[in-house]
Amino acid sequence: MKKPPARGRDTYHVGNLGPRLLEAARRTLEVSGPTNLSIRAVSKEVGVSPTASYHHFATRAELLGHLAAQGFHELHDALAAIGDTSGRGPGLLERACVVYVDFARRNPALYQLMFGPELAGEDVIAELRTSRTAAFEQVKRILGLVMGPSAKPVEVQRAATGTWSYTHGLASLWIHRVLQLPDNASVEQLVGRTLRGLAQLIDAAMAN
């Protein structure tokens, strides 16, 4: 007797389908960018119906929000791994910038989604707002260590905002290949050179 054609599974265990959909969404994002990323496409890759996927992600925006939140969780963990014993002053600052830029370099499509226009407003899922804030808190923690215990919270806040602006700009320039770099240039070399350039600029500005 001839068997009926195999069908994609319409259901997965509730604790399993969500992560599988996010994994598929991330693969699609890295290969073809966010344009082709949809619940229908991701469902097809996983082998379930869109109806099953909608139980986990009601809209495409929600799927993108969870994917971006995953990226911020990973960035948070990478920065959190820089412990209190990693040194102080310029060495610690340079290490943090290297970790940040390296994360963006290794996850270019995800990084651009995290900071892209589709998720730029306040109308995003709560997990994305929370994870984004938590990542910035790690930047503040590290800058607090760099500046020392005498630094005021407002000073740490300003320094953290400036540092995030610098690393984000540097990461974006690298990802979009705007910077003219040698083929064998490392993240450490790029961060070291640009930080020294900023320090020289600030010293010259303060002297005048």
The CATH number for 117's domain is 1.10.357.10
Statement to judge: residues 194 and 118 lie in one domain: yes
pLDDT at 34 over 90: no
Rounded percentage of the chain residues whose pLDDT exceeds 70: 90
User: What whole-number distance in Å separates Cα of residue 179 and Cα of residue 106?
Assistant: 17
- pLDDT tens string 63-82: 999 999 999 999 999 999 99
- Asked if residue 170 has pLDDT above 90, the reply is yes
Q: Using one digit for the tens of pLDDT, what is the confidence trace for 81-96?
A: 997 654 566 789 999 9
Same structural domain for residues 142 and 167? yes
Count Cβ atoms below 10 Å from residue 188 Cβ, excluding itself: 14
Query: Looking at the predicted structure, is the pLDDT value of residue 120 above 90?
Result: no
Kindly report the CATH number assigned to the domain that includes residue 30. Answer: 1.10.10
For residue 10, what are its two tokens? 């319409």
Angle subtended at Cα 124 by Cα 96 and Cα 14, rounded to the nearest 5 degrees? 95
The CA distance from 203 to 87, in Å, is: 23
pTM comes to 0.85
Q: List the domain range (segments joined by +) for residue 73.
A: 64-207
User: In this structure, are 48 and 73 located in the same domain?
Assistant: no
CA gap 32, 168 in Å, rounded: 22
Q: Model confidence at 184, in pLDDT bands (50, 70, 90)?
A: confident
Same structural domain, 16 and 86:
no
**What average pLDDT does the chain have?**
87
Does residue 176 sit in the same domain as residue 110?
Answer: yes
Q: Output the CA torsion sign for 75, 78, 83, 86.
A: negative
Spatial CA neighbour of 114 closest among 159, 178, 164: 164
For residues 42-68, b (16+ Cβ closer than 10 Å) or e, as one string?
A: bbeebebbeebbeebbeebebbbbbbb
